Chains A and B, each alone.
Chain A
């Protein structure tokens, strides 16, 4: 078990593409850490650089306090689960799980025993003679996990471990993976493009964009207080309302409505500032009656989310969304008023949280 530390890590591809730009990051021992971002943001490159499959062009990687920047992947004492699992199709489950031990020259009997032990723990014991092609997606994923566990490496790296599973299985695997990591207590870094997955599983997470880390924090921190408009727009299953506005004395003018300055920004904005007002649809109180400090407009669309509805208001030509609990949903064309929760609304100036 070991902490992972990155110091000024850069990766520039020949041709000048800057995939990682001087990243600093410390992942403490035993943490379940998510790298989240849209495709092409550098998250997979970062994971592969930690594994040693890509070589850094600047900075250093430390695993368990040891500088491994120039070390071959095999010498870093990490184990990796690939997006396609990379189970060898010509080996059965036993041989696949035991492969890392074969490389370490563990005797055949001992490595089969270890494979059986790990497999039993993951409920794979009845599949030991099958080839990967004869397994379901979920089973393949567990074999890949078992292979990683058999290595007894200091850290695990997962590249989009759930993306090859179908939607229902993915939820199940999410819970399973989180429980397993808790039990094993091995430092684990996983890459995902799915913000819900990162929020659900990670102890902490880094949100990346264009080779930079935009925010590091616990899922609660990242969800409630996105550090900038990029993170604010990326996190959340319904996107946050980000509305252009300006400071007018001690109130804000947003989409033609007057709103109080949110609690967090009080005393930090001055008259005349151009700002972006951010509030999640979940943090809006909707009512059909006019209210103080509300964003008011005509109901344009009502979408059913199951236990609630997502109502889109047309507020002076700007779309504002609010989640309305079951039973209270308006009809299209109604006048509607959405009041942001003052303790949850945020103000961004020049893209950064105030």
Chain B
């Protein structure tokens, strides 16, 4: 009996410590935006909306959020479209060298990281005149995400029985009709997963836009956040906290949406 009680106490203490550890850093994000003249310390907010007004008036804050939307949506669209086409073809047609290609893609995607490739990517962008181009950045980000996306989607397509396509084919549907009528609707959950994954990746990406976009009007929220706390010695805390909250909300909403609709689990990835 005492062992049981001690166990309960131990468990509760451990969980309380864990909760404190994970909550503590986050508190500031939810209190400071509603506090007038916030400091670094977490205090009970006086529920003012002035900070939000300041963010709205800031010349680069809201536009940078829009830039983040453009970069994320653009990259997600390209990643989904190209990965879907490639994954379908690779799943269904035995192209020469397919297995070697898949292996190479997988290897490349895990070894070539922003860190390892920042120098050549920077140079490449300079050579191709893609510095300060959002479209160029979208292409570069897409290239980085595609191998993993192709892999996850190929898993989805592989798991879809071929008899659906064969059935449509016996009824006389053309390959493009089959893709449109049958394949796309069947793998829609996979496409949605890839889109969300790509958005989440780009939304938080700091290094690539930091390297490749120097025009402050084109920079996404990740870079603007960093600028806000390094520029001019003293960081503007009310601005930073409020902007940070606005920048975080879409990710949280997306997480809630995904975990509600699909359950937050490993897709394609680490399943064994």
| Chain A residues close to B by CB (< 8 Å) | 51-53, 72-76, 78-80, 82-84, 86, 88-90, 99-100, 102-104, 151
Contacts of A51 in B (CB 8 A): 170
> B48-56, B160-168, B214-222: which one contacts chain A?
B160-168
Interface centre among B166, B168, B170, B188 (most CB of A within 10 A): B170
**Interface size on B (CB < 8 Å)?**
18
CB-defined A-B contacts under 8 Å, sample of 20: A53-B166, A53-B169, A73-B166, A73-B169, A73-B172, A74-B171, A76-B170, A78-B170, A80-B167, A82-B166, A84-B161, A84-B163, A88-B168, A88-B181, A88-B182, A99-B181, A100-B172, A103-B168, A103-B177, A104-B172
Whole-angstrom distance between the Cβ of B179 and the nearest chain A Cβ: 13
Q: Is B250 an interface residue (CB 8 A)?
A: no
Contacts of A89 in B (CB 8 A): 186
Bound together, the chains give a CA A100 to CA B188 distance in angstroms of 22
Whole-angstrom distance between the Cβ of B213 and the nearest chain A Cβ: 40
Bound together, the chains give a CA A71 to CA B185 distance in angstroms of 28
B186-A90 in contact (CB<8A):
yes
Contacts of B168 in A (CB 8 A): 88, 99, 103
Contacts of A78 in B (CB 8 A): 170
Contacts of B167 in A (CB 8 A): 80, 82, 86
Contacts A82-B163, A83-B163, A103-B177; A90 near B185 (Cβ below 8 A): yes
B173-A74 in contact (CB<8A):
yes
| Chain B residues close to A by CB (< 8 Å) | 161, 163-164, 166-174, 177, 181-182, 185-186, 188
Contacts of B186 in A (CB 8 A): 88-90
Which of these, B161, B171, B174, B182, contacts A100 with CB under 8 Å? B171
Bound together, the chains give a CA A89 to CA B185 distance in angstroms of 9
B172-A75 in contact (CB<8A):
yes
Whole-angstrom distance between the Cβ of B177 and the nearest chain A Cβ: 7
Besides A84-B163, A88-B186, A99-B168, 13 other A-B contacts (C-beta < 8 A): A72-B169, A73-B172, A79-B170, A79-B171, A80-B166, A84-B161, A86-B163, A86-B167, A88-B181, A99-B171, A100-B171, A103-B173, A151-B171
Bound together, the chains give a CA A99 to CA B177 distance in angstroms of 11
Contacts of A151 in B (CB 8 A): 171
CB-nearest residue of chain B to A100: B171
Bound together, the chains give a CA A18 to CA B169 distance in angstroms of 25
Bound together, the chains give a CA A74 to CA B174 distance in angstroms of 8
Whole-angstrom distance between the Cβ of B93 and the nearest chain A Cβ: 14
Whole-angstrom distance between the Cβ of B95 and the nearest chain A Cβ: 14
Bound together, the chains give a CA A84 to CA B167 distance in angstroms of 11
CB-nearest residue of chain B to A150: B171
B164-A86 in contact (CB<8A):
yes
Whole-angstrom distance between the Cβ of B67 and the nearest chain A Cβ: 36
Bound together, the chains give a CA A89 to CA B169 distance in angstroms of 16
Bound together, the chains give a CA A90 to CA B182 distance in angstroms of 8
